[in-house]
Amino acid sequence: MRPIWKGTISFSLITIPIALYPASRREELSFRMLRASDLSPVNYKRVAATDGQEVPWEQIVKGYEYDQGKYVVLKDEDFRRVDVEATQAIDIIDFVRLEEINPIYFDKPYYLVPQKAGAKAYALLRDALKRTGRVGIAKVVIKTRQHLAAIKPQNNALVLELMHFADELVKPTNLKIPGSLDVGTRELEMATDLVERMTDEWNPEKYTDDYRSALLNLINEKVEHGGRTPPDSGQKKKKPANVIDLVSVLQESLDQTHGAAATGKGAKSASRKHKRKEAA
């Protein structure tokens, strides 16, 4: 894997040479627009809105719409004038407690890998962050754009997680979100009990993209059938019922989780008995 960026982490007088590697991937299925009659790929043309004429690349400029229908043109030299990439450095501005940061600010993670002669300082920063429970808040320029970022310890690695600036987040002030409501003591106790029964240890491998898997299976089946749609299995998803009586729905959910828990305990007990018989 090739690094997408190389530079340094700096805080106070300490400088650590590092390389940046992606820590996540998004495997989107890509589709082409085709003409139905012969499956010929459909391409897009750049046309002017006023007369519908196709515009060649050399006649296209970048413009910012500062008012409806009014634009100001920005040239390459304009972008260079405001270029914030002075150095290939991740400058830590502050150290803050991780629990103080709302998770909504976090966006995309990257692994930070120390370069030659940077291993000791890298380990020093990592262990200091672990001991203090802090993360480093920094600014970094990646692909011509400046980002806010947090440097966090993750096992033996340091992770740089890009963040949203405060003005990039939409405040839910205009959304119809309920405030304090009298939900009832019984309903709250039942809901709390349901949450407790459904609580499990965090295991990220448990959760998969079911839609992507089903879509890939369908694509493979269509390829095997020469492009034809395979016969439907007839299985339909259940439509969610209208919630009328919250208490009865909570009770039904509790009964289901209690039954599932009892089944799990029964299976474990049977397994233990079977092992004892084998041992005997």
Q: What single string gives the DSSP state of each residue in 216-280? A: HHHHHHHHHTTTPPPPP----PPPPPP---HHHHHHHHHHHHHHHHHHHHHHHHHHHHHHHHHH-
Least confident stretch, 38-52, 86-100, 223-237? 223-237
Residue ranges covered by each domain of the chain = 5-26+83-168, 179-196+244-256
Answer whether residue 87 shows pLDDT above 60.
no
Residues 6+ apart with CB under 8 A from 93: 137, 138, 139
Q: pLDDT of 235-251, one tens digit each?
A: 555 555 554 466 676 67
Which of 24-38, 109-123, 187-201, 244-258 has the lowest average pLDDT? 244-258
The owner of tokens 């089946």 is: 221
pLDDT at 243: 46
Give the pLDDT confidence score for residue 200 in this predicted structure: 85
How far out from the chain centre does Cα 210 lie? 16
How far apart (Å, rounded) are the C-alpha atoms in residues 10 and 91?
5
Tell me the whole-structure pTM to 2 decimals: 0.63
Residues 147-156 pLDDT 10s: 899 999 999 9
5-26+83-168 maps to CATH 3.40.430.10:
no
Looking at this protein, which amino acid is placed at residue 100? E
